[in-house]
Amino acid sequence: MSRHAATALLLLAVASGPALADQCQHSAPRSLDLDFSGVKSVMFDVGHHELRVNAAAGATGAVKGRACASDADRLDRLTLTQERRGDKLVVRLASDSSWSGLSFGARYAYLALEASVPDSVLVQVDVGSGDAWVTGASSLSADVGSGDVEARRTRGLVTAKVGSGDLKVDDAGALNVLSIGSGDVEAANLRGDAEVGSIGSGDFNLDRATGSVKIGSIGSGDAELSGIGGSVTVRSIGSGGLEARGVGGDLSVSSVGSGDIDHSGVKGRVDLPRKR
Protein backbone atom coordinates (compact mmCIF):
# COMPACT_ATOMS: atom_id res chain seq x y z
CA MET A 1 0.00 0.00 0.00
CA SER A 2 1.09 3.61 -0.45
CA ARG A 3 2.69 5.14 2.62
CA HIS A 4 1.47 8.59 1.65
CA ALA A 5 -2.07 9.95 1.97
CA ALA A 6 -3.59 13.20 0.84
CA THR A 7 -6.29 15.11 2.63
CA ALA A 8 -8.18 17.53 0.43
CA LEU A 9 -9.74 19.31 3.37
CA LEU A 10 -6.39 20.50 4.65
CA LEU A 11 -4.65 20.64 1.26
CA LEU A 12 -1.65 19.04 2.96
CA ALA A 13 0.33 15.93 2.18
CA VAL A 14 0.46 13.64 5.18
CA ALA A 15 2.94 10.80 5.41
CA SER A 16 3.72 8.30 8.14
CA GLY A 17 7.01 8.58 10.01
CA PRO A 18 8.60 5.45 8.55
CA ALA A 19 7.89 6.75 5.04
CA LEU A 20 10.43 9.44 5.92
CA ALA A 21 13.08 6.93 6.95
CA ASP A 22 15.60 8.48 4.58
CA GLN A 23 15.06 11.86 6.24
CA CYS A 24 16.94 12.24 9.47
CA GLN A 25 18.21 15.77 9.87
CA HIS A 26 18.56 15.32 13.64
CA SER A 27 19.04 11.93 15.30
CA ALA A 28 19.72 10.34 18.66
CA PRO A 29 20.40 6.70 19.59
CA ARG A 30 17.81 4.62 21.40
CA SER A 31 18.42 1.34 23.22
CA LEU A 32 16.61 -0.76 25.79
CA ASP A 33 17.52 -4.10 27.41
CA LEU A 34 14.41 -6.25 27.74
CA ASP A 35 13.73 -8.42 30.80
CA PHE A 36 12.20 -11.72 29.66
CA SER A 37 12.38 -13.48 33.02
CA GLY A 38 9.05 -15.35 33.38
CA VAL A 39 7.66 -13.72 30.23
CA LYS A 40 5.43 -15.76 27.90
CA SER A 41 4.52 -13.01 25.43
CA VAL A 42 5.84 -9.64 24.32
CA MET A 43 3.67 -6.90 22.83
CA PHE A 44 5.20 -4.10 20.78
CA ASP A 45 3.07 -0.97 20.57
CA VAL A 46 4.51 0.35 17.31
CA GLY A 47 2.09 3.17 16.49
CA HIS A 48 3.39 5.19 13.53
CA HIS A 49 7.01 4.11 13.97
CA GLU A 50 9.17 1.45 12.32
CA LEU A 51 10.22 -1.79 14.03
CA ARG A 52 12.04 -4.95 12.97
CA VAL A 53 11.71 -7.92 15.33
CA ASN A 54 14.06 -10.88 15.06
CA ALA A 55 13.32 -13.94 17.20
CA ALA A 56 16.10 -16.45 17.81
CA ALA A 57 16.99 -19.20 20.25
CA GLY A 58 19.01 -17.87 23.15
CA ALA A 59 18.35 -14.21 22.43
CA THR A 60 18.49 -12.22 25.67
CA GLY A 61 16.23 -9.42 24.43
CA ALA A 62 17.09 -5.88 23.41
CA VAL A 63 15.87 -2.98 21.30
CA LYS A 64 18.18 -0.54 19.56
CA GLY A 65 18.04 2.05 16.81
CA ARG A 66 17.57 5.76 16.46
CA ALA A 67 15.13 8.60 16.84
CA CYS A 68 14.87 10.99 13.90
CA ALA A 69 13.27 14.42 13.72
CA SER A 70 13.28 17.56 11.63
CA ASP A 71 13.74 19.62 14.79
CA ALA A 72 16.34 18.72 17.43
CA ASP A 73 14.04 19.66 20.29
CA ARG A 74 11.61 16.91 19.21
CA LEU A 75 14.08 14.10 19.79
CA ASP A 76 13.53 13.94 23.55
CA ARG A 77 9.83 13.40 22.91
CA LEU A 78 10.47 10.15 21.07
CA THR A 79 10.56 7.51 23.81
CA LEU A 80 11.07 3.76 24.20
CA THR A 81 9.76 2.06 27.36
CA GLN A 82 8.87 -1.38 28.72
CA GLU A 83 6.23 -2.42 31.23
CA ARG A 84 5.49 -5.80 32.82
CA ARG A 85 1.86 -6.98 32.93
CA GLY A 86 1.79 -10.39 34.53
CA ASP A 87 3.62 -12.74 32.17
CA LYS A 88 3.40 -10.22 29.31
CA LEU A 89 6.06 -7.63 28.49
CA VAL A 90 4.76 -4.46 26.81
CA VAL A 91 7.26 -2.40 24.82
CA ARG A 92 5.98 0.99 23.73
CA LEU A 93 7.33 3.23 20.98
CA ALA A 94 5.87 6.65 21.69
CA SER A 95 5.88 10.29 20.67
CA ASP A 96 4.97 13.06 23.08
CA SER A 97 4.36 15.64 20.38
CA SER A 98 1.50 17.67 18.97
CA TRP A 99 2.28 16.38 15.49
CA SER A 100 3.95 13.12 16.54
CA GLY A 101 5.07 11.02 13.56
CA LEU A 102 3.14 12.89 10.92
CA SER A 103 4.79 15.14 8.39
CA PHE A 104 3.31 18.55 7.71
CA GLY A 105 5.53 20.04 5.08
CA ALA A 106 9.09 19.29 6.19
CA ARG A 107 8.30 18.44 9.83
CA TYR A 108 8.69 14.86 10.97
CA ALA A 109 9.54 12.74 14.01
CA TYR A 110 9.80 8.96 14.20
CA LEU A 111 11.63 5.98 15.69
CA ALA A 112 13.41 3.36 13.57
CA LEU A 113 14.28 0.37 15.76
CA GLU A 114 15.31 -3.27 15.71
CA ALA A 115 14.44 -5.75 18.47
CA SER A 116 15.82 -9.18 19.33
CA VAL A 117 13.63 -11.57 21.35
CA PRO A 118 13.73 -15.25 22.37
CA ASP A 119 11.95 -17.51 19.89
CA SER A 120 10.02 -19.15 22.72
CA VAL A 121 7.64 -16.23 23.37
CA LEU A 122 4.50 -15.13 21.55
CA VAL A 123 5.14 -11.90 19.66
CA GLN A 124 2.36 -9.32 19.37
CA VAL A 125 2.54 -6.14 17.30
CA ASP A 126 0.04 -3.29 17.37
CA VAL A 127 0.70 -1.12 14.33
CA GLY A 128 -1.12 2.11 13.57
CA SER A 129 0.28 3.84 10.48
CA GLY A 130 3.77 2.48 10.96
CA ASP A 131 5.60 -0.62 9.76
CA ALA A 132 6.72 -3.84 11.42
CA TRP A 133 8.72 -6.84 10.26
CA VAL A 134 8.76 -10.01 12.37
CA THR A 135 11.07 -12.92 11.58
CA GLY A 136 11.45 -16.30 13.28
CA ALA A 137 8.73 -16.01 15.94
CA SER A 138 7.15 -19.07 17.52
CA SER A 139 3.74 -17.45 16.97
CA LEU A 140 2.53 -13.98 16.07
CA SER A 141 -0.48 -11.75 16.69
CA ALA A 142 -0.78 -8.60 14.58
CA ASP A 143 -3.26 -5.73 14.82
CA VAL A 144 -2.78 -3.64 11.68
CA GLY A 145 -4.37 -0.22 11.21
CA SER A 146 -3.24 1.68 8.11
CA GLY A 147 0.35 0.51 8.28
CA ASP A 148 2.20 -2.58 7.05
CA VAL A 149 3.25 -5.80 8.77
CA GLU A 150 5.40 -8.53 7.27
CA ALA A 151 5.93 -11.91 8.96
CA ARG A 152 8.46 -14.51 7.87
CA ARG A 153 9.36 -17.97 9.16
CA THR A 154 6.73 -18.15 11.90
CA ARG A 155 6.78 -21.65 13.39
CA GLY A 156 3.20 -21.61 14.62
CA LEU A 157 0.00 -19.62 14.17
CA VAL A 158 -0.22 -16.09 12.81
CA THR A 159 -3.35 -14.29 14.04
CA ALA A 160 -4.25 -10.89 12.63
CA LYS A 161 -6.82 -8.16 12.24
CA VAL A 162 -6.31 -5.77 9.32
CA GLY A 163 -7.93 -2.40 8.70
CA SER A 164 -6.75 -0.40 5.68
CA GLY A 165 -3.17 -1.59 5.94
CA ASP A 166 -1.31 -4.56 4.49
CA LEU A 167 -0.19 -7.89 5.94
CA LYS A 168 2.27 -10.24 4.27
CA VAL A 169 2.89 -13.71 5.67
CA ASP A 170 5.46 -16.14 4.29
CA ASP A 171 6.26 -19.55 5.77
CA ALA A 172 3.95 -19.94 8.77
CA GLY A 173 2.37 -22.85 10.61
CA ALA A 174 -1.20 -21.60 10.15
CA LEU A 175 -3.10 -18.35 9.59
CA ASN A 176 -6.18 -16.88 11.27
CA VAL A 177 -7.29 -13.47 9.99
CA LEU A 178 -10.20 -12.19 12.06
CA SER A 179 -11.17 -9.49 9.57
CA ILE A 180 -9.91 -7.51 6.60
CA GLY A 181 -11.30 -4.03 6.01
CA SER A 182 -10.05 -2.22 2.91
CA GLY A 183 -6.53 -3.53 3.27
CA ASP A 184 -4.76 -6.50 1.71
CA VAL A 185 -3.46 -9.79 3.08
CA GLU A 186 -0.94 -11.81 1.09
CA ALA A 187 0.12 -15.20 2.40
CA ALA A 188 2.25 -18.02 1.05
CA ASN A 189 3.72 -21.34 2.15
CA LEU A 190 1.44 -22.22 5.04
CA ARG A 191 2.07 -25.55 6.75
CA GLY A 192 -1.51 -25.82 7.98
CA ASP A 193 -4.96 -24.26 7.70
CA ALA A 194 -6.03 -20.71 6.90
CA GLU A 195 -9.17 -19.05 8.22
CA VAL A 196 -10.55 -15.60 7.43
CA GLY A 197 -13.54 -14.23 9.32
CA SER A 198 -14.58 -11.47 6.92
CA ILE A 199 -13.28 -9.54 3.93
CA GLY A 200 -14.71 -6.07 3.32
CA SER A 201 -13.45 -4.22 0.26
CA GLY A 202 -9.93 -5.55 0.65
CA ASP A 203 -8.20 -8.57 -0.85
CA PHE A 204 -6.97 -11.92 0.44
CA ASN A 205 -4.37 -13.82 -1.58
CA LEU A 206 -3.05 -17.22 -0.55
CA ASP A 207 -0.51 -19.22 -2.52
CA ARG A 208 0.28 -22.72 -1.23
CA ALA A 209 -1.17 -24.13 1.98
CA THR A 210 -1.06 -27.77 3.05
CA GLY A 211 -4.33 -27.51 4.98
CA SER A 212 -7.84 -26.23 4.31
CA VAL A 213 -9.17 -22.70 3.87
CA LYS A 214 -12.32 -21.31 5.49
CA ILE A 215 -13.68 -17.84 4.72
CA GLY A 216 -16.72 -16.43 6.52
CA SER A 217 -17.80 -13.62 4.21
CA ILE A 218 -16.49 -11.71 1.21
CA GLY A 219 -18.06 -8.28 0.70
CA SER A 220 -16.90 -6.28 -2.31
CA GLY A 221 -13.35 -7.55 -2.04
CA ASP A 222 -11.66 -10.57 -3.58
CA ALA A 223 -10.10 -13.82 -2.44
CA GLU A 224 -7.55 -15.57 -4.66
CA LEU A 225 -6.43 -19.05 -3.61
CA SER A 226 -3.97 -21.40 -5.28
CA GLY A 227 -2.18 -24.59 -4.34
CA ILE A 228 -4.50 -25.53 -1.46
CA GLY A 229 -3.91 -29.03 -0.08
CA GLY A 230 -7.26 -29.40 1.68
CA SER A 231 -10.76 -28.06 1.04
CA VAL A 232 -12.03 -24.52 0.50
CA THR A 233 -15.21 -23.38 2.25
CA VAL A 234 -16.82 -19.94 1.89
CA ARG A 235 -20.02 -19.00 3.68
CA SER A 236 -21.07 -15.96 1.61
CA ILE A 237 -19.96 -13.69 -1.23
CA GLY A 238 -21.52 -10.29 -1.88
CA SER A 239 -20.35 -8.32 -4.92
CA GLY A 240 -16.78 -9.52 -4.62
CA GLY A 241 -15.07 -12.50 -6.15
CA LEU A 242 -13.50 -15.85 -5.36
CA GLU A 243 -10.81 -17.51 -7.45
CA ALA A 244 -9.68 -20.99 -6.45
CA ARG A 245 -7.09 -22.91 -8.45
CA GLY A 246 -5.45 -26.18 -7.55
CA VAL A 247 -7.57 -27.39 -4.62
CA GLY A 248 -6.79 -30.84 -3.24
CA GLY A 249 -10.15 -31.27 -1.51
CA ASP A 250 -13.67 -29.88 -1.99
CA LEU A 251 -14.85 -26.40 -2.94
CA SER A 252 -18.02 -25.20 -1.24
CA VAL A 253 -19.75 -21.79 -1.29
CA SER A 254 -23.03 -21.39 0.60
CA SER A 255 -24.35 -18.16 -0.96
CA VAL A 256 -23.36 -15.55 -3.55
CA GLY A 257 -24.87 -12.20 -4.51
CA SER A 258 -23.66 -10.41 -7.63
CA GLY A 259 -20.11 -11.60 -7.20
CA ASP A 260 -18.13 -14.09 -9.25
CA ILE A 261 -16.65 -17.52 -8.59
CA ASP A 262 -13.86 -18.86 -10.77
CA HIS A 263 -12.29 -22.25 -10.13
CA SER A 264 -10.08 -24.86 -11.76
CA GLY A 265 -8.17 -27.94 -10.71
CA VAL A 266 -10.50 -28.88 -7.84
CA LYS A 267 -9.95 -32.58 -7.10
CA GLY A 268 -12.93 -33.01 -4.79
CA ARG A 269 -16.59 -32.08 -4.97
CA VAL A 270 -17.66 -28.62 -6.17
CA ASP A 271 -20.78 -27.23 -4.47
CA LEU A 272 -21.76 -23.75 -5.68
CA PRO A 273 -25.06 -21.88 -5.29
CA ARG A 274 -26.98 -20.03 -7.93
CA LYS A 275 -26.56 -16.28 -7.93
CA ARG A 276 -29.29 -14.43 -6.09
Contact in structure between 241 and 222 (CB atoms under 8 Å):
yes
Mean pLDDT rounded to a whole number for the chain? 91
Question: How many helices (DSSP H) and strands (DSSP E) are in the chain?
Answer: 0, 24
Write the burial class of residue 207 (CB in 10 Å: 0-12 exposed, 13-18 middle, 19+ buried).
middle
d(CA 63, CA 26): 20
Give the integer Cα–Cα distance in Å for 234 and 245.
14
User: 65-122 pLDDT, tens per residue?
Assistant: 999 999 999 999 999 999 999 999 999 999 875 554 455 557 889 999 999 999 999 9
Q: Is the pLDDT of residue 152 over 80?
A: yes
Beta partners for 79? 94
Can you give the pLDDT at residue 96? 78
Is the pLDDT score of 53 beyond 70?
A: yes
What are the domain boundaries of the chain?
Answer: 13-38+49-119, 138-269
Q: What's the confidence (pLDDT) of residue 23?
A: 85
Query: What is the pTM for the complete model shown?
Result: 0.90
Rounded Cα gap, residues 222 and 243, in angstroms: 8
